């Protein structure tokens, strides 16, 4: 077994070098730790006698809600909690009412209620605004409601059953939150913040490389397309990833530099503007590669100075903005100012595009 675990360690070490993200390894170790912790219910006989078979629900809770970032874990955990309480409560009510009805009517009554709540909750799960935040909660609601309501039919004491399950789910939740938030927490908010700040840098490099490329090669024209300046592409397609991160970040408690009610929406708003800037850079790149551009270096030379000037102005502004956001010198709460600056820059950039056309036409 020792040989096995050292093999595993070696494998993990190689993986670290591959992935270059120690957070992933730490996360996996945390999950393993939480699993062992929750398995204590089975390891220790006195504990098992207390909860019995219901220990299963604690294990299930840990496996299901432990996600990579603290925000995701919290969001899933709270959803599970709310869903269980609501579903369990309504389930108990249904079981008790059905008991009053008695006879065959009992089965029919429970069947109809299960159908109605199942339909309603499933429909809610398809409404986008609801789905974004409470999809998992609605699923757990259906599950708990169904299990508790039908258990009553087989003569189980539903309220005891519901409370026991709620208790073990609560224990699983506490173990998860403890492991996720206390031991090397991975914050979705940190990730959103740093990826957001790095976007400025990526856009700046894209602009610089684009102009460099235009004025450098003429004979090696075909090789030039292999020059990699795809930073803008990752920005162009980051919208849905950002939305997910912002959604998790909203669930995270106060920590580090972020207070309560931190305006994550501003990140998305400025992110949209950066997205548009990335689309402009894409067009700029297409123009540079267009067959209508003059092929010889001399024809391009007179443009070099003004273009370089605009490019370096735009990219240094971008870098400066990115730096200040990273170090939170400009508070992101003043997102309006940043947005205005970006808007101005976008105009500058499209201006630059027509300037280069102007100059080109002057030469030809």
Measured from the CB atom, is 228 or 361 closer to its own copies? Answer: 361
Nearer to its own copies, 86 or 279 (CB): 279
- Smallest separation (angstroms) from its own copies to the CB of 260: 29
Q: Whats the size of the chain, residue-wise?
A: 364
267-279: burial string, b at 16+ Cβ within 10 Å, e else: bbebbebbbebbe
Q: Rounded to the nearest whole angstrom, what is the least distance from the CB of residue 239 to its own copies in the complex?
A: 5
Task: State the DSSP code for 255.
Answer: B
The closest of 317, 312, 360, 358 to 212, measured between CA atoms, is 312
> Which residues face 258 on adjacent strands?
255
> Considering beta carbons, is residue 65 or 258 the nearer one to its own copies?
65
Least Å distance, CB 145 to its own copies, is: 10
Residue 1 C-beta: closest distance to its own copies, Å: 6
Residues 32, 28: Cα–Cα separation, whole Å: 6
Strand runs (DSSP E) across the chain, as ranges? Answer: none
Nearer to its own copies, 110 or 197 (CB): 110
Q: State the nearest-atom distance from the C-beta of 16 to its own copies, in Å.
A: 10
The 8-class DSSP code of residue 292 comes to: T
Smaller CB separation from its own copies, 199 or 258? 199
- As measured in angstroms, the least distance from the Cβ of 242 to its own copies is 11
CA distance 227 to 247: 36
Among 182, 156, 139, 189, CA closest to 53: 156
d(CA 7, CA 14): 11
Measured from the CB atom, the residue of 113 and 189 that comes closer to its own copies is 113
Dihedral sign (CA 225, 200, 274, 340): negative
């Amino acid at each position: 077994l020792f040989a096995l675990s050292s093999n595993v360690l070696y494998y993990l070490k190689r993986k670290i070098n591959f992935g270059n993200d120690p957070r992933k390894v730490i996360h996996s170790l945390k999950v393993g730790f939480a699993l062992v912790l929750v398995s204590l219910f089975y390891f220790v006989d006195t504990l098992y006698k207390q909860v019995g078979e219901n220990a299963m629900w604690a294990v299930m809770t840990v496996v299901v809600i432990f996600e990579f970032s603290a925000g995701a874990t919290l969001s899933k955990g709270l959803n599970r909690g709310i869903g269980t309480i609501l579903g369990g409560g309504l389930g108990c009510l249904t079981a008790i009412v059905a008991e009053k009805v008695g006879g065959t009517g009992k089965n029919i009554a429970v069947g109809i209620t299960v159908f109605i709540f199942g339909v309603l909750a499933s429909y809610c799960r398809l409404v986008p605004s609801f789905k974004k935040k409470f999809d998992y909660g609605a699923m757990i609601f259906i599950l708990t409601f169904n299990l508790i309501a039908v258990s009553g039919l087989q003569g189980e004491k539903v309220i005891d059953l519901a409370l026991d399950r709620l208790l073990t789910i609560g224990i699983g939740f506490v173990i998860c939150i403890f492991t996720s938030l206390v031991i090397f927490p991975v914050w979705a908010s940190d990730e959103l913040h740093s990826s957001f700040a790095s976007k400025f840098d990526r856009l700046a490099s894209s602009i610089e490389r684009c102009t460099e490329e235009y004025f450098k090669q003429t004979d090696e024209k075909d090789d030039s397309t292999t020059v990699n300046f795809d930073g803008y592409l990752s920005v162009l397609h980051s919208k849905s990833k950002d939305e997910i991160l912002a959604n998790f970040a909203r669930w995270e408690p106060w920590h580090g530099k972020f207070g309560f009610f931190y305006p994550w929406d501003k990140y998305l708003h400025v992110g949209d503007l950066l997205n548009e800037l990335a689309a402009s850079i894409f067009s700029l790149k297409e123009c540079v590669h267009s067959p209508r551009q003059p092929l010889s270096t001399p024809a391009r030379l007179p443009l070099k100075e003004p273009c370089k000037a605009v490019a370096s102005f735009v990219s240094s502004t971008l870098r400066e903005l990115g730096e200040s956001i990273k170090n939170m010198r400009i508070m992101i709460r003043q997102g309006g100012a940043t947005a205005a600056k970006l808007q101005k820059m976008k105009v500058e950039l499209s201006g630059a595009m027509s300037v280069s056309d102007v100059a080109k036409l002057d030469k030809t």
